[in-house]
Chain A
Amino acid sequence: MNLLNKFSNPELCKKLLTLLKNELIRPFRFMEVCGTHTVAIFRSGLRSLFPENLIHVSGPGCPVCVTHEREVAAFLELAQKDVVLATFGDLMRVPGPNKQTLKDLQAQGANIKIVYSPFDALQLALDTPDRDVIFIGIGFETTAPTVAATLNVARQQNIKNFFVFCLHKLVPPALKALLSGGVKIDGFLLPGHVSAIIGRGPYEFLSKDYNLPATIGGFEPVDILQAIYELVKMFNLNQPAVVNCYSRVVKDEGNQKALLMLKRVFEPCSALWRGLGEIPDSGLQIRSEFEAFDARKSFNLEDLPQVPPLKGCKCGDVLKGLLRPDECPLFNKQCTPESPVGPCMVSTEGSCAAYYKYLV
């Protein structure tokens, strides 16, 4: 659509960049918490145009990266059972204990299928009624409703051979955990499509309790520059608020229909995050009404395997914004996208991978 191309208009970007530069009277450190923002900031070239005193930090916004090593070990175990494991392609190369990946297991004969949508995994179950199909549910509030809707259809159609291994996570509790852990940030660029579902309300604690400005931003260069400019303006005026700069997609109240679906199928639970550890109420588990589809219950995964963290990998500190990827001793040495040590180098949305691709 012609209208949408305007959100990458170079003239407009230039003007916004000038405005931003003028507004930056002191160093400003912002964190984005969305893999798509990480990639968009690098790919659009914005990162190299940012003024020196604008410091960009990537937080725990890539669902592949925040999947805990114990969760990875669990789905690797699942893949070795007599099942069809359906997954988003991004998880295929995430190394578990002993550096093993789903891709390795697939080469050794495990039945692993890459799907683009959870609904495709359900279709797989319908097509192979004599096989159990397990979908690995990862992702934040944008993805979880799509899995909820799929489970809802599975229940309506009384499908017996479809299961979800639920590892979904929620963004606001992770931000809270980061901040109470003492991470130094001056403002947040909030994830546009998570916000399309949850709206603006769940972030209000950022300005109320932590005195931090936050803006919900889209993914075109104009969106990103505008959102950062608004952040800096609020910071300078010391008038922090949570502002929606992506109104063509995000409504303040979010998507109520998706939220209802989410609540029908899932309930909040404590969850493990790579690097951040256990955070209360930061994950989703399948409600008892849907437990017939819960892979944790049907495949004996209530307790995740105990495994040590990946040796030498600093993904935890990278995800907390404490370490720049290139400050990790393994970066571009033992750890490259061809031979990744940690998930932040595997996922195209991981910050180590973005640093490697655009800055090495």
Chain B
Amino acid sequence: MCLAVPMEVKSIDGLVAEVEIGGVKNQVRLDIIDEQPRPGDYVIVHAGFAIRKLDKDEALETLKLFEKGLGLELT
């Protein structure tokens, strides 16, 4: 029940967003997300609610740190 997964926002209508994961579309509520997402953003969805926007810059930053520290090409 705790599964919370990143899903891509397709469209937004008021407090409801249409999201997609692996070709499957779903509707999620936006009542408690702290940053308004836009289509193309990824949101973490839990129990039918978007709980956080995924920060792409932070993801990139983390991978860059690994690249630097471990000599891998990731980005």
A-side interface residues toward B, CB under 8 Å? Answer: 1, 3-4, 6-7, 9, 11-12, 15-16, 19, 34-36, 62-64, 88-90, 116-120, 138-140, 142-143, 145-146, 148-149, 152-153, 193, 196-197, 222, 247-250, 255-258, 261, 347, 349
CB distance from B36 to the nearest CB of A (A): 10
Is B52 in contact with A255, judged by CB distance below 8 angstroms? yes
Task: Report Cα–Cα, A15/B73, bound state, in Å.
Answer: 12
Return the contact of B49 from the options A4, A7, A19, A145 (Cβ within 8 A): A145
B-side interface residues toward A, CB under 8 Å? Answer: 1-4, 6, 8, 29, 31-34, 42, 44, 46-49, 51-52, 54-56, 58-63, 66, 70, 72, 74-75
CB distance from A17 to the nearest CB of B (A): 11
Residues of B contacting A4 in the complex (Cβ-Cβ under 8 angstroms): 6, 42, 54, 59
A248-B48 in contact given A11-B72, A261-B31, A349-B2 (Cβ < 8 Å) = no
CB distance from B70 to the nearest CB of A (A): 5
Residues of B contacting A248 in the complex (Cβ-Cβ under 8 angstroms): 54-56, 58-59, 62
Task: Report Cα–Cα, A332/B61, bound state, in Å.
Answer: 45
Is B8 in contact with A1, judged by CB distance below 8 angstroms? yes
Residues of B contacting A256 in the complex (Cβ-Cβ under 8 angstroms): 34
Is A146 in contact with B63, judged by CB distance below 8 angstroms? no
CB distance from B74 to the nearest CB of A (A): 5
Is B66 in contact with A12, judged by CB distance below 8 angstroms? yes
CB-CB nearest in chain B for A89: B1
Is B72 in contact with A247, judged by CB distance below 8 angstroms? no
Return the contact of B63 from the options A3, A11, A88, A347 (Cβ within 8 A): A3
CB-CB nearest in chain A for B55: A248
Task: Report Cα–Cα, A275/B61, bound state, in Å.
Answer: 41
Residues of A contacting B29 in the complex (Cβ-Cβ under 8 angstroms): 117, 119, 146, 149
CB-CB nearest in chain A for B63: A6
A196-B1 in contact given A3-B59, A248-B62, A257-B33 (Cβ < 8 Å) = no
Is B51 in contact with A255, judged by CB distance below 8 angstroms? yes
Task: Report Cα–Cα, A140/B44, bound state, in Å.
Answer: 16
Residues of B contacting A116 in the complex (Cβ-Cβ under 8 angstroms): 47-48
Task: Report Cα–Cα, A117/B70, bound state, in Å.
Answer: 41
Give 12 A-B contacts (CB < 8 Å), ordered by A residue: A3-B56, A6-B63, A119-B48, A143-B46, A146-B51, A149-B49, A153-B31, A248-B55, A257-B33, A258-B51, A261-B31, A347-B1
Is A257 in contact with B74, judged by CB distance below 8 angstroms? no
CB distance from B56 to the nearest CB of A (A): 6
Q: Which residue among B3, B49, B56, B63 has the maximum number of chain A CB atoms within 10 Å of its CB?
A: B49
Return the contact of A145 from the options B3, B32, B66, B72 (Cβ within 8 A): B32
Task: Report Cα–Cα, A4/B62, bound state, in Å.
Answer: 11
Is B2 in contact with A143, judged by CB distance below 8 angstroms? yes
Task: Report Cα–Cα, A142/B58, bound state, in Å.
Answer: 21
CB-CB nearest in chain A for B70: A15
CB-CB nearest in chain B for A254: B34
Is B34 in contact with A34, judged by CB distance below 8 angstroms? no
